[in-house]
Structure 1
Amino acid sequence: MKMDEQNEHMSEQTQNEDLLQEQTQDLAQELDEQAQQEPQAQDPLQVCQQELEAQKDKYLRVHADFENVKKRLEKEKYQALEYANESFAKDLLDVFDTLEMALNAPDQSFEQLVEGVGLIRANLLKVFEKHGVKEIETQNGFDPNFHEAVMQMPSGEHSDGEIVQVLKKGFAFKERVLRPTMVGVCKN
């Protein structure tokens, strides 16, 4: 009987081992399936490195876009400067055409010529005003910021330093003097 018990015990042990091995295989298979279904937990350092690379790539793209915009704006700025006077030049063409017609008009009297030149001058002043070029006034007296005294002359009608005569008109573009008015001032 001992042998039967021993055989039975061996058989039971073999069955237990087989069952344990089967359960181990099932558990291993289940763990593999779970590992495939769940994303693996990554190393925090690796996660940070990946995020750093992504941010670096994003920065490089933004920087490249910025450089492209900067180049485009620089090009547009140079084009704007190059063609800034285009509308002024176009407006002067009308004045030029009027001058050409006056010079080519047949049988003009001196009075007609003077009248035509006056109209051309008026048109030119309109173009100047349209583009911010204004004649510098002299009624308010001598101002060294806007006037240049090129000669002194005695005058019984004016006090010292007053403008007696305008020799060449001055002009300003907006608030900047293009050319000061050249004047003669009184010196008694």
Structure 2
Amino acid sequence: MTEAERQDQQEEDKEKTTAGDGGEDASPAEETNWREQAEQYRNDYLRALADMENLRKRLERQMEDARNYAVERFARELLPVVDSLELALSTPVAGGEGVAQLRQGLENTLSLFFQALAKAGVAPVEADAARFDPHRHQAIAMVEAEGEPNRILAVHQKGYVIHDRLLRPAMVTVAKAASGESGRDPSPGSQDQ
């Protein structure tokens, strides 16, 4: 449709609307209805726009979580391999060049595993000489010991985190107050109150 035809069509539409009213504009009631309908369309548009923005943000969060934690199952499968290598390295070396080479190979393999885990966001939980944290450590034994209770005395199995989530807690032995000390202070934490 050409510009001239479009203008002719608009003029015809104007004549039709004014011919029925005797040349008057639309009634105030009709104009109010149009304005209300336009406002409704505007509100619907703004709501749809807000819904789309919320959906986009939610999908971005889900994609970020998927990127960060997609390797969780893979990392969980690698942890027993790391444990076995660490156990082999903890055995004393009896001597001989073959044993030294075997040990060097194990150390290199373990180093590669740690590098692969670090790339995936997996890091060990610090437990040596730390205070027991039930969110990161799992106590498998409590031993009476001198000094501060709830200290980690031994780490039996390392714990790991993936980004900010706990993948596996550290298995630890925790110090508890010696029986002589428990007579002086029957309730733990009573000094704090």
TM-score by length of 1: 0.48
Highest CA radius of gyration, 1 or 2? 1
**Higher helix share goes to which structure?**
1
Give the alignment's TM-score, normalised by structure 2.
Answer: 0.47
